[in-house]
Amino acid sequence: MNCQVKDELVSQLIALNKKLNLLSPNLVHGDEERAEVQQQRENLYAEIKHHRAKGHDGKPCPAARQI
Ligand SMILES: [Zn+2]
C-alpha cells in the first residue's frame, strides 16, 4: 500500500541527505550549516517514526515497511 504522507516525508529526507552531501567539509561555514541540516534530519526521522507507528488516526502506516 502507498501512503502519500510517507512518500512526502521520505522525499524530504532524501533532499536533506543530498544537501548534506553537498556541504563539503572544507567549506568555511560548512560545520554550522551541516549541524543545522543534521538537526532537521533528526526532526524528520522522528516525524517519520511517529507516522509509521501511529500516523493514521492512531494506527500504523500501511506503507511503513517500504520506508
Ligand atoms: Zn502513512
Amino acid type, 24: S
Cell, residue 24: 563539503
Mean pLDDT of 14-21: 92
For residue 32, how far is its CA from the centre of ligand 1 (angstroms)?
A: 33
Q: Which residue matches cell numbers 567539509? A: 25
pLDDT at 38: 92
Q: Which three-class secondary structure state does DSSP give residue 44? A: helix
For residue 63, how far is its CA from the centre of ligand 1 (angstroms)?
A: 6
Count of domains observed in the chain? 1
Query: What's the domain range around 44?
Result: 4-66
Burial class (CB in 10 A: 0-12, 13-18, 19+), 56: middle
pLDDT at 28: 66
Using CA atoms, how far apart are residues 5 and 61, in angstroms rounded to an integer? 9
What's the DSSP call for residue 56? B
pTM: predicted TM-score of the whole model, two decimal places? 0.80
For residue 19, how far is its CA from the centre of ligand 1 (angstroms)?
A: 25
For residue 41, how far is its CA from the centre of ligand 1 (angstroms)?
A: 19
